[in-house]
A and B are shown apart, each in its own frame.
Chain A
Amino acid sequence: MNPSILQPLMLLGALAIAIPIILHLLSLRPRKSIEFPSLRFFMEKDIPADRWRKVKRWLVLLCRCLAIIILALVFAHLLFEKPSEWREAAVIVVDRSASMTMGDTPNRTEDAFREALNQMGPGSRVAVIELDASPEMLSEFGSVEQASSTSNKLDPNIESGDPRAAIDAAAALLAGASAQTKRLTIISDFRGPQWRSIQSTDESIDVEFISVADANAAENLWLEIPRIESTGQSDQAVLAVRVHNEDTSSREAVIHLSGDSFNDSARDIVLPGLSSIELRLPVELTPPTPEIHGVLRLDPAIEDSFLLDNERYFAKQSSIERKVARISETASPSDVFWQAALYPTFDRSRSTQQWLTGIDAKRALVNATTNLVILDRSTPLNEIELKALETYLDQGGTIFYVVDKTTTKQPFDKIIGLKSLSSQSATNKLLAPRLTGFDFGHPLLGIFNRPDMTSPFGVKVFNWATLQSDAINPLIQLENGDIALGEISIGNGRVFISTFPFERESTDWPARVSFLPFVQELLALTSGVVQTEAPTETGMRLESGEVASLPGIYEQQGSRTIAVNLAEEESDLRIWASEQFQSADETDALQGPEGGNNPPEQPVDPTSWLLFLAACFGAFELLIANRTSL
């Protein structure tokens, strides 16, 4: 039994024992009394002995002092039980960054906060922490009612949310507060690169992620094709973006930029009442991801733009690094956008670039371990190149085939079995068909089925081609029933066919926020690293200072390490660790503390016992007083 005082200041109430002592001393003073011949007719019984009266006085004083001390202890919340007798200790980490102001996110944040509180039991102790680099304790451990009173403190501020310190603080709180169950609830939109960090918590902590991202927040925003400008440094660039606000009635537009390439200062921008603004955002260039082997872009308009440094690849086979050079600074906006999306996978070092042309590029195509080939239908291909693509497909490669409105005969159509095609255009852009009929079960589009992911619904296509093929598997359809994106399996490889180019004249998808995740998912799918059933590690031991390479649950110095979002996505969080923890905790909960299906024991509230003692002393005092008076 370790007694602990929750509110030590209330112990000052024990000084109130001076009151009965003073009363006792005052009663000892000779008081002016009324003489009466005999008091025997006032008494129920005989007049008590004087000795008993003296004893009675001291007993009454003792009872009063004890009652006051016990009441002071009750108000001070003296707990004789262990803190582990808390039924549940929960810490709610609430993101208050500027990105939480998007659309209806504040209301959903409050709803999620109240729902998280409603899941707490009556014996739960809840603390609320702000998600910030220097997290503020919004509410210390207390009852659910006390925690609910902090709902008015959840308004976002202009600070950027760094989850690392907040989750560390929450883990420290939970480590100090022993309870039967521990829960860490994180309420955020999970935007930003900070979520890629690893957080270590106690193994008994149940981690729950509640995403309140506003999927429709950017519907009113129209993003012009951005362009990337070089800063002269190998690891930095400037991304120029022009943002149009279609809803001019809104007082402000909030732009949330997610991605690993943007530093903190460029995130979460609030534009007060502007219809158009150009942002110049510094971009940090990250080294190439080892699993992305390379992207070959075959486009006659930008010939010599994408070349594979094949020699360097074979010269450095021991290294995972692959060099993909981007040489054109004057490419079309679509190309620039593609490159911006693929930016982390590229090596921008000029010193390592080699300008390969002609046969070198074709040779590279045959021998490269490229994951993805982007092929426009207008690209003229000779027989050697066709053979190379066939070989590439047989080896399991992926070709993203973009069909534009050109009518030029393309021999690649025969390889994939396209019979005929016709060009279609929308007479009015407002009436252009939208993307619909998504096959969310496909690995490429499964990311859009997540609740925290921006939906691609609403993307308009102005120019497209109608395809006729028996082998094509439609992945995305237009509102008129035409195929927008399809898949054809050729050998071990596959061909994704887009019936419209990603030019501004054909679609507004590149300006939509859902485009970047789509491209990332395409790269991830072709690289074979990130899958729907992505590999995770469970139970591996990490040495001190070692960083996990895959998402999962690791053991580190006897504790479990949560590896959050270690995959290469730059946008949103992938909750691998959360699922693992939830399943593990559900198993523990079913088994119970002793391994059986035993309900948790209800802790005895010491306050009731103390109040009972105080009442006993009060009753005893009254009994003594009544025994000799009336």
Chain B
Amino acid sequence: MSFKTPSNRPGPPPLPRSRSGPPPLTVARPKVTWDPKLLAHSQNLEWLSNLVMAGYNQGLHRSPYHGFSSEFSEFRPYTQGDDLRFLDWQVYGRHNRPFIRRFEAETNLNALIVVDVSRSMDYHSNPDFPTKYQYAALLASALIRLFNSQNDAAGLALIQDEAVASYSSPANTAAKFKHCLALMENAQVTGGGEIAQPLPGLARRLKGRGQIILISDFLHELEGLENALKYIGAQRNEISLLQVLDPEETEFRSARQGVYEDMETGFRLTVNPEWLKARYLERVRAHQQELEEICKSHRGHFHLISTQEAPFGILGELTARRQRKP
């Protein structure tokens, strides 16, 4: 799958309209149980962007402009018209020359949580574990809540069959948050395809610098994803890839012999795990390593998440790397 970068930058591709109500039930939907504790806990966390953001409102993220934050930026000679409130009187007394203290501006960002709702995400090897989509939905809800709590606008896009199945534009309202939850609750986890195809269009929807978080299992070819990340990075968007995998996929512990069926393609294959386990694990690790290298080459962040881990810990681990440095 190759991705074609539009040359004349036409407008973003048409997105399906977000529906106020849940979509009609055509297939069995995975039941997503929201965790209020997780949502409450996420409000106490901070997700700071590593890149300079250019929001419109006051926020926690660095801005290319000078503003009124508490972070000192530089001294500037006083010019007529400057607000005397920012005159540094101590420097003036010491040097007998007026200087204006300037502070870094802090702004908010537009975050877009992109969740893969392909058929492969509806997998869990153990009924005690959530499916990958359920886990991804919990993470997405917590992240939206987290961004909203730090005055960032957060949106949601559900990708299916190499297209955007549902889209909620970034916003910082409770209604938007509920809408996102409803979208995820009513999403039909089916179909297949790569997640990379609609990403450039979504990046253009952000209208400037923003945060794009991809939550998927990334069990497909990475060539298209690399092209998409290259385009997104060129748009000065920060990228985070959260690869959600079931423990069975990463460890292949159950090793049941039988006919395995690909959840997306329906292809069947008789598998003897005793023969193929080592080779399978080797290929999975190679795939993850390649994915991580692609992500880092575009200044992104890669996180491998297992569904057997508690979302609390994962969320804390994700935000710990982005704490404000003292």
Q: Kindly identify which residue among B217, B258, B265, B280 contacts A34, using a CB–CB cutoff of 8 Å.
A: B258
Given contacts A42-B269, A630-B276, contact A37 B260 (CB under 8 A): no
| Interface set, chain A 613-630, CB cutoff 8 A to B | 629-630
Q: Distance (Å) between the CB of B273 and the closest chain A CB? A: 10
Q: Is B236 an interface position by the 8 A CB rule? A: no
Q: Distance (Å) between the CB of B115 and the closest chain A CB? A: 16
Residues of B within 8 A of A629 (CB): 269-270
Q: Is A18 an interface position by the 8 A CB rule? A: no
Q: Kindly identify which residue among A32, A39, A53, A630 contacts B262, using a CB–CB cutoff of 8 Å.
A: A39
Residues of A within 8 A of B123 (CB): 35-37
Do B265 and A37 touch (CB < 8 A)?
A: no
Do A36 and B284 touch (CB < 8 A)?
A: no
Q: Is A351 an interface position by the 8 A CB rule? A: no
Contact digits for A2-46, partner B, Cβ 8 Å, 1 yes 0 no: 000000000000000000000000000001111111111111000
In this complex, the member of A34, A35, A41, A43 whose beta carbon has the largest number of chain B beta carbons within 10 angstroms is A41
A366 to B114, CA, bound (A): 146
Do A42 and B284 touch (CB < 8 A)?
A: no
Do B263 and A36 touch (CB < 8 A)?
A: yes
Do A37 and B120 touch (CB < 8 A)?
A: yes
Q: Is A47 an interface position by the 8 A CB rule? A: yes
Residue of A nearest to B276 (CB): A42
Do B262 and A41 touch (CB < 8 A)?
A: no
| Interface set, chain B 249-302, CB cutoff 8 A to A | 249, 256, 258-265, 267-271, 275-276, 280, 283-284, 287
A50 to B260, CA, bound (A): 16
Contact digits for B116-155, partner A, Cβ 8 Å, 1 yes 0 no: 0000110100000000100000000000000000000000
Given contacts A47-B265, A47-B267, contact A39 B260 (CB under 8 A): yes
Do B217 and A33 touch (CB < 8 A)?
A: no
A369 to B102, CA, bound (A): 169
Residue of B nearest to A39 (CB): B262
Do A34 and B259 touch (CB < 8 A)?
A: yes
Residues of A within 8 A of B264 (CB): 37-38
A343 to B297, CA, bound (A): 127
Residues of B within 8 A of A40 (CB): 219-220, 262
Residues of B within 8 A of A35 (CB): 123, 260-261, 263
Given contacts A35-B123, A37-B246, A37-B249, contact A42 B271 (CB under 8 A): yes
Do A31 and B263 touch (CB < 8 A)?
A: no
Residue of B nearest to A46 (CB): B221
A414 to B218, CA, bound (A): 137
Residues of A within 8 A of B219 (CB): 37-38, 40
Do A36 and B262 touch (CB < 8 A)?
A: yes
Do B260 and A36 touch (CB < 8 A)?
A: yes
Do A33 and B287 touch (CB < 8 A)?
A: no
Residues of A within 8 A of B256 (CB): 34
A74 to B57, CA, bound (A): 88
Do B262 and A47 touch (CB < 8 A)?
A: yes
Residues of A within 8 A of B249 (CB): 37
Residue of A nearest to B217 (CB): A37
Residue of A nearest to B272 (CB): A630
Given contacts A39-B269, A42-B269, contact A33 B258 (CB under 8 A): yes
Residue of A nearest to B264 (CB): A38
Contact digits for B99-125, partner A, Cβ 8 Å, 1 yes 0 no: 000000000000000000000110100
A-B contact pairs, 5 of them (CB 8 A): A36-B260, A37-B121, A38-B263, A39-B265, A40-B262
- Extra 15 A-B pairs, beta carbons < 8 Å, given A33-B260, A39-B262: A32-B259, A35-B261, A36-B123, A36-B260, A37-B120, A37-B123, A37-B263, A38-B219, A39-B260, A39-B271, A40-B220, A40-B262, A41-B280, A42-B280, A53-B267
Residues of chain B whose beta carbon lies under 8 Å from any beta carbon of chain A: 120-121, 123, 132, 217, 219-220, 246, 249, 256, 258-265, 267-271, 275-276, 280, 283-284, 287
